[in-house]
Amino acid sequence: MSATIDIRFRLNGVDTEVSVPATMSALEMLRDRLDLTGTKYACGEGECGACTISVDGVTVNSCLMFAADCDGRELMTIEGLAASSVGEALRASFTRNGAVQCGFCTPGIMMQAHSVLQKHGSCEPADLKRTIEGNLCRCTGYVKIIDSMAEACVAADEGA
Amino acid sequence: MGVALDITRGETLIGKRVPKMDAPEKASGKTRYIHDINLPGQLHAKILHAGVVHARIVSIDTSAARALPGVHAVITAADVPWQRPIGVAKDHLPLKTDRVRSPRDEIAAVAADSAEIAEAALNLIKVVYDPLPIVSSAEDALQPGAPLLHGEELAWTSPDGRREVLHAPSLDNVAMTFNYAQGDVTYGEAESDAVVEDVFWLHYVTHCCMGVSGVIAEFEANENLRLYSNTQVPFLHKREFAELLGIDPGRVRIIQPPIGGGFGSKLDIYPFEPIAIFLAKITRRPIKLVFTREEEFMASPTRQPVLLRLRSGCKRDGTLTFRTIDTLHDNGAYTSWGATTPFVMMQTFSSLYRVPHCQYRTRAVYTNNPYAGSFRGYGNLQATFAVEAHMDKLADAIGMDPLAFRFKNAQEPGEVTPQGMLFKSCGFKDCLETAALRSDYSRKHAEYRAKWHDGNPVKRGVGMASMLHVAGGAKIYPSDGCGTILKIDDFAHVTLITGASEIGQGSETVLAQLVCEELALPLSAVTVVNNDTDITPWDVGVHASRTTFIAGNSAIGAARKAKAKILAAASAKFELPVDRLELRAGHIVEKDSGNRFIEIGKLIRSLHFSDKAELVMTTHYYEPPSQHQDREFKGDVSAAYAWATQVVEVEVDTMTGIVRLLRVTGAHDVGRVLNRLGIEGQIEGGIVMGQGYATTEDLIVENGVVRNPSFRDYKLVTAPEIPEIDISFIETMDGEGPQGAKGVGEAPAICVAAAVANAIYNATGVRLYALPFTPENVYRALKQQARPPVWRVAP
């Protein structure tokens, strides 16, 4: 077992301290140490996007990030997003538009969708498709995910 | 989360866009999949896979692994002498005894305090192998003198010393055969004006469920087995695991957490499940075993790869005359459901179009390759690919428009096919017409074809394909039924306890809608329980697009019984005949006037608190009126059949071989739309899965080894690549279907690849006979550098 490192960061708005092995990924830390199981393991090599979280406002594949690199950063997971008003709006949009089937990729895609809303980018479906090209979904065929993102995007623009 | 309903205005939930009941939970990250469940005291298990392709096991040394701190158990076949063969043909031992037939073969397993320790222990296990010659293809497996993969019988000795032969030796590597015939193909060929013959190769693909496989096994103090499992067939699994342990199936309880995708991959029992059970029995602790993605690619099933030779003919006026089909299925090292896909394939060959003479011969043979399971569409993608290529080629040969040719031979309602299928409802011709019209098929087909030689390197094409699939169950097991228990509590809240599992397809929402329709309650009044075999009544599992149809009819039956009970109580209370009463918006009302007598909840409370207290709790078992097929595979195997036509428009860059799907126009006979949102999602997802099968997905297997076991190298379709999708529903209101509906789960994936192949031909004049249509494969075909598949199979 490798040496452990003490790290501190802000997680979903709460100051958090944890001691982690130097080789542990942020995904393992979230799931196995902090019981935040909303973030999913599906490939472990940054190809599917199921483990997407936000670090200092930027989405990352948490399977590719060392837990130790979270030190001093601001993290948000699906649990943090779900508790916010924008998360609530996204959840309503994903539900209403049928974007969720087995749901395993959904948290990662919601994190990516949230990042798109934060950036105030284009709400055009063609542009939205590109923003989730790193998120694999095996059930929905993506159509309803794009519909949901577009609806939430337009609503956020109108609200702004 | 539910949809409120004002039934006083005659509203219904049927056909509406009803959001999935589990969506808010899933979109909050709160849903606990098997990966997210941890039991107190649980150990983590890992499996040592052989890594070698075909070998004798000379010795296994586990001493160093056993000595590693944190390791609680290391097991090999020697530690479980009572282990029993598993799977469709009982030719597969969970832990291998003396021989390896595939690199994924399970040699040993470890239970440890953490997955890391278990992994470290695997690295300490020393196995000595004596290599054997590799059988790398189905053709090679049939060569005279080919090494035999299962040349010995496989026997099992029960804990009480009873010896039972479960698998007979295969002395020719043939695992399974299916032969079917109708009419006289020699006669059919003689009266043909055009005959075509081709060989097709349908490749390996795999399910790629986003949630990898996993299980948690635990023994209760009384030695009953409790299993948290992603299986799609919990009731069949109960029996399998009980047999494995030599215990009564009643002592096995299977709990299904929400499942991260199934698509047929979880229809069989796989070695990891018994292995977790062995470890739980030995350690007396809960055992959690979850695959890595690499394991998921390597050690879960594939779609059945098939080499297929098709010969078919027609008369000058377009009448189909005959079909002769030979298929060779690469069974892989063990037999799972893939070997039985010919069962569905023959249905397409014999009955998608009217064809009087048809002969089908097939073998599934053992190789050292990955073994194939069931995968959405179950053989039908492969069969449809070949049949629909020939529909275009025959139309071409007699100078007929491909649409008109299909129309001439399409099935109609009332038809009984030579295989014995009765098409009580059939919207096939409507599907053809609608898809053609909405895609402007005929005009584009002629226009694109005229541009084959115009000098523009980027070509466009349209291709059409249709499909037939079971849509009212498939009577393969002694029963194809499903049970429902329905409980209405004192606040008129309904608990719908169904045998049918939810694997993401949205069945629980549809079942709740059907119950709401009968009881005139809003969706928010229904909770669906579908995940625990100790509670839920029997069902044969999620497969064959059967859940809406079978479980739906079962739920309706239970709801009608509950309604009768409520109305009878109201009738007694208000001294009015039952036929003058009706349920509406949570109330009992007088049918004609709409006058409200009482809330349903209040009436039920009065039943509970009366001196002759009574509950509103009903059960219903629905068995479809379908037939088992006879030994010649004839019989009406499903209570309903689904139809679809899809037209795909593509762009082919002849400089690079890149094929882009621009637009898919689908017309689907779904009987009746129950949940518009859900059915759209199923069809869109199925189309994109079909797109992957056609263009990007390729599980590369070389000499038994999977070369691309990762999402980096196995390409799923991503969001920017999806086509525009246009879906039309043909509502045939099937008489047996729940509210007229038919099954739809598999249908949308079935014709995409066939339509893409026809579209590439329409764009370029080049026909491709082997999947997938990757840029490299397409480029080689366009430059005539591709070697088309050949049939060099030993007789």
Contact B777, B785 (CB under 8 A): no
Mean pLDDT of A86-92: 96
What is the rounded CA–CA span in Å between residue B777 and residue B772?
A: 7
Name which of B318, B312, B466, B320 is nearest B399 in CA terms.
B318
What is the rounded CA–CA span in Å between residue A136 and residue A81?
A: 20
pTM score > 0.95 for this model? yes
Tell me how far apart the terminal alpha carbons of chain A are, to the nearest angstrom: 50
Contact B604, B492 (CB under 8 A): yes
Tokens of B378: 């179950």
Smallest Cβ distance to A102: which of B24, B211, B716? B211
The alpha carbon of residue A24 is apart from the nearest alpha carbon of chain B, in Å, by 11
Interface of B with A in 266-305 (CB under 8 A): 292-293
Question: Contact A141/B116, CB-based, under 8 Å?
Answer: no
Question: Contact B719/A142, CB-based, under 8 Å?
Answer: yes
pLDDT for residue A159: 73
Please list, in sequence order, all residues whose beta carbon lies within 8 angstroms of the beta carbon of residue B572, skipping any fewer than 6 positions away: none
Mean pLDDT of A81-106: 97
What is the number of helices (H) and of strands (E) in chain B?
A: 20, 30
Contact B284, B222 (CB under 8 A): no
SS (H, E, C) B513-579: HHHHHHHCCCHHHEEEECCECCCCCCECCCCCCCHHHHHHHHHHHHHHHHHHHHHHHHHHHHCCCHH
Q: Which residue of B has its CA nearest to A39?
A: B29
**3-state DSSP assignment of residue B144:** coil
Tell me how far apart the terminal alpha carbons of chain B are, to the nearest angstrom: 60
Interface of B with A in 196-215 (CB under 8 A): 207-212
Question: Contact A130/B263, CB-based, under 8 Å?
Answer: no
What is the rounded CA–CA span in Å between residue B611 and residue B630?
A: 55
Q: Does A85 touch chain B (CB under 8 A)?
A: no
Q: What are phi and psi of B346, to 5 degrees?
A: -65, -25
Residue B36: how many other CB atoms lie within 10 Å: 20
Tallying the residues shown for chain B, one arrives at 795
What is the rounded CA–CA span in Å between residue B472 and residue B506?
A: 17
Tokens of A41: 């393991």
Q: What are phi and psi of B557, to 5 degrees?
A: -60, -45
Q: Tell me the sheet residues that pair with B523.
A: none
Residue B246: how many other CB atoms lie within 10 Å: 12
Interface of B with A in 83-142 (CB under 8 A): 116
Q: With bands split at pLDDT 50, 70 and 90, how would you rate the model's confidence at A121?
A: confident
Residue A58 has pLDDT above 90, yes or no: yes
Tokens of B273: 């499940």
Contact B276, B94 (CB under 8 A): no
The alpha carbon of residue A159 is apart from the nearest alpha carbon of chain B, in Å, by 22
**3-state DSSP assignment of residue B603:** helix
For residue B550, what are the CA distances in angstroms to B628, B738, B786? Answer: 16, 8, 46
Name which of B336, B347, B330 is nearest B267 in CA terms.
B336
Question: Contact B20/A95, CB-based, under 8 Å?
Answer: yes
Please list, in sequence order, all residues whose beta carbon lies within 8 angstroms of the beta carbon of residue B504, skipping any fewer than 6 positions away: A101, A102, A103, A139, B259, B260, B261, B262
Smallest Cβ distance to B712: which of A47, A102, A130? A47
H/E stretch holding B75: strand B71-76
H/E stretch holding B443: helix B441-449
Contact B172, B141 (CB under 8 A): no
State the burial class of residue B81 (Cβ atoms within 10 Å of its Cβ: 0-12, 13-18, 19+).
exposed
Q: Does A20 touch chain B (CB under 8 A)?
A: no
- Catalytic: B197? no
ipTM above 0.85, yes or no: yes
CA geometry: angle at B353 spanning B352 and B356, to 5°?
A: 115
What is the rounded CA–CA span in Å between residue B650 and residue B633?
A: 38
Q: Tell me the sheet residues that pair with B228.
A: B216, B255
Q: Which residue of A has its CA nearest to B209?
A: A138
The alpha carbon of residue B572 is apart from the nearest alpha carbon of chain A, in Å, by 42
| DSSP assignment of B462-525 | EEEEEEEEE-S----SS---EEEEEEE-TTS-EEEEESPPPSSS-HHHHHHHHHHHHHT--GGG
| DSSP assignment of chain A | -PPEEEEEEEETTEEEEEEEETT-BHHHIIIIIS--TTS--S-SSSSS-TTEEEETTEEEEGGGSBGGGGTT-EEE-HHHHHTSHHHHHHHHHHHHTT--SS-SSHHHHHHHHHHHHHHT----HHHHHHHTTT---SSS-SHHHHHHHHHHHHHHHHH-
Tokens of B786: 């591709």
Q: Does B3 touch chain A (CB under 8 A)?
A: no
Tokens of B365: 């043979």
**3-state DSSP assignment of residue B387:** helix
The alpha carbon of residue A118 is apart from the nearest alpha carbon of chain B, in Å, by 18
Average pLDDT along chain B, 795 residues, taken 10 residues at a time: 51 93 98 98 98 98 98 97 93 97 98 97 98 97 96 89 92 96 98 98 98 98 96 94 91 97 95 98 98 97 97 98 98 95 96 98 97 96 98 98 98 97 98 98 98 97 98 94 97 97 94 96 96 96 95 98 97 96 94 93 94 93 96 97 98 98 98 98 98 98 98 98 98 98 97 98 98 98 92 85
Contact B523, B586 (CB under 8 A): no
Q: Does A76 touch chain B (CB under 8 A)?
A: no
pLDDT for residue B130: 98
Q: Which of B16, B21, B28 to mutate to test the interface with A (most CBs of A within 10 A)?
A: B28
What is the rounded CA–CA span in Å between residue B24 and residue A90?
A: 10
Smallest Cβ distance to A133: which of B33, B678, B720? B720
pLDDT for residue B1: 39
Tokens of B696: 């990007």
